[in-house]
Amino acid sequence: MLALGASAQIPALERVEPMFWWVGMSNPNLQLIVHGNNIAARNVVLNYPGVKLKAVHKVENSNYLFLDLEVFSSASPGTFPIKFTKAGEKALVYNYSLKKRDKSAGRAQGVTSKDLIYLIMPDRFSNGDESNDSFDNMREKGINRDSMYSRHGGDIQGVMNHLDYLKNLGVTAIWLTPEIENDEPHASYHGYAVTDYYKIDPRYGTNELYKQFVEKCHSMGLKVIKDLVHNHAGTEGYTISDMPMKSWVHQWPTYTKSNFRDAAVMDPHVSPMDRKLMQDGWFDHRMADMNESNPYVQNFLTQNHIWWVEYAGIDGFRLDTYPYNDPAYMAKWAQDVKAEFPKLSIFGETLVWSAANQAFFTQGNTVNRGFDTHLPGITDGVLKDAIFEAINGNDGWTDGVGRLYSVLAQDFLYQDATRNTIFLDNHDMSRMLSVLKEDFTKYKSAMAMLLTMRGVPQLYYGDEILMKNLSDPDGLVREDFAGGWKGDKDNKFTADGRTKRENEAFNYVSKLANYRKVTTALQTGKLMQYVPEKGIYVYFRYDAAKTVMVIFNSSEKEQTASAERYFERIGDAKKARNVITDEDVDLKQIALPAKTALVLELLPGITH
């Protein structure tokens, strides 16, 4: 499908990656990828105390060399020349730097169930620097906010300009969709067709600005998650347009798309071709499927991800399209990354249809996998669907709230379900408000569950101000955040710019999120749920400090519930405080309007 040598018009020494590295890494081995016109015709000379050139690999494409270095613990930070020599020609020189590791407190600290993640598409959040909106040397030029598939001009500076807004909302961690360069001809604003792994897309900013962004977030008590794409790469990137070797990507006689069937990975009766199509098929014509069984590809990806953590100090990774990757490599990748950054958190995207399918990919599931994936958690799309069924569906044994109860009852499948990221929507699916048919009562109930349930909750930008729309057919779920651009009619970042209902939504989410921030029972406490009865579903989050009761009436009519059935958790408590209204509630008779969830903190008198 792809040929070698498609891009021979490059400088004699075009690039060396990683561009620099650090002394004192857990793994002393480092593989440099060198790209330049016929660079393989040259010899390599390196001389620096504590650094050994172990091997020089020539591959199918003479525009590449792969250099195996060993950086001993005795190596000191500094810069040294790597010379590429050829008889009768002037040597090419790359001055390589080894830096001192930054071990400051608060770097690579991990994202846990104590946090609330806020997902942002940088292109659609805020344009903080109009000077970087377009570049003549990039394939897609200009911005067009009237098109959902064009670039709109949002950037990293725009996110930095609104960190106070996020802090006030109660957010503690920010996940940006990929910020690295996507130099594709069209519709690459989303970030998932990377063309330069070591470079922030210029339309978002610079590497240095990204580092400043992380540092500013940390100074404000906010963490940062980086979105990684192992599975595929944009076809305009240099390693794809001028591949080192044919086996760099999965090759097919003609363009072959993935079948997108995750069950083929775990099916004991699977057709081998179905499994191959799932894992080796391409996502899109513009997204080449990486061959992660190739050791050169493995080193290239893993070192890049380690580089970004050490360079910027990010706190966690979200792994795109996790089931499509090579399983053995991903397990090794996780171990290699955690060896350098033990506290770093990792969660994989698994948009599948059952809890068993999700759990199959998580760590500790060695009976079914035959090995450990070392993947701590996943994106819990099954719980998302169960919450919507609980709110929109009709009560039944495994329908309505019965579905939610049943999904949580399957938490035994995970080593630790609290490491799963829970959510109601994201950039790839219909907005929660639209799924809930724009019913504000249902919206509040869904938010109540999201912010009190086990796991790591994640909001999608704009959910807190009632942004809506379905995912098909026009992509409006990636609409701009009003107020993020100069000249916007409304500014939803301020209370004055929001409608009365939008402020009610913002205040509701903010009240719960900030309550969660100071309530350990909702962060790390245990979960106890009760079998639903007559459409009423109750669960508790509790620890030695507090007990929080969440009670949801899924029926279409008002009901009254008595706390008597829940004596195990309520003990001798007679009253509770409504977390949203601050009103006292008599636990003997709890009035529950239709489709309403109440979040109640039990008042003194509790037994634990």
Active site residues: 320, 349
Contact between residue 114 and residue 98 where contact means Cβ atoms under 8 Å apart? no
- Rounded CA-CA distance 458/425 in Å is 9
Q: Which two tokens stand for residue 176?
A: 């940006």
Between CA 313 and CA 335 the distance in angstroms is 18
Residues near 90 by beta carbon (within 8 Å), at least 6 away in sequence = none
Measuring CA to CA, how many Å separate 272 from each of 121, 283, 381, 572? 37, 19, 27, 59
Question: Residue 51 in 3-state DSSP?
Answer: strand
- Hey, CA dihedral for 510, 512, 513, 518, is it positive or negative? positive
- For residue 316, the 8-state DSSP code is E
Strands 89-99 and 20-22: parallel
Nearest residue to 464 via CA among 444, 438, 442, 439: 444
The 10 Å Cβ neighbour count of residue 501 is 12
Tokens, residue 476: 């409006």
Tell me which amino acid residue 419 is: R
Residue spans of beta strands (DSSP E) within 370-492 = 377-378, 421-423, 456-460
- Contact present, 456 and 421 (Cβ < 8 Å): yes
Distance of CA 311 to the CA centre of its chain: 19
Q: Could you tell me which of 60, 34, 82 has the C-alpha nearest to residue 238?
A: 34
Token representation of residue 546: 């507090």
Give the strands of the sheet with 78-86, arranged side by side.
Answer: 20-22, 89-99, 78-86, 43-46
DSSP per-residue codes, 25-43: -SS-EEEEEEE-TTGGGSE
C-alpha distances out from residue 200 to 210, 249, 287, Å: 7, 23, 19
536-542 sheet: strands from edge to edge: 526-533, 536-542, 547-553, 597-602, 575-578, 584-586
Whole-angstrom distance, CA of residue 17 vs CA of residue 244: 14
Angle between helices 440-450 and 500-517 in degrees, nearest 10: 20
The helix or strand, by DSSP H or E, that contains position 95, with its residue range, turns out to be: strand 89-99
Q: Give dist(CA 566, CA 545) in Å, integer.
A: 19
| Alpha carbon distance, N-terminus to C-terminus of the chain | 64
Residue 520 main-chain phi, psi, to 5 deg: -65, -25
Q: Please name every residue paired with 51 in a beta bridge, in sequence order, or none if there are none.
A: 48, 71
Element (H or E) spanning 90, and its range?
A: strand 89-99
Give the residue from 526, 263, 531, 527 showing the smallest Cα distance to 403: 531
C-alpha to C-alpha distance for 505 and 259, rounded to whole angstroms: 39
- Gap between the Cα atoms of 525 and 541, Å rounded: 6
- Specify whether the CB–CB gap between 32 and 66 falls below 8 A: yes
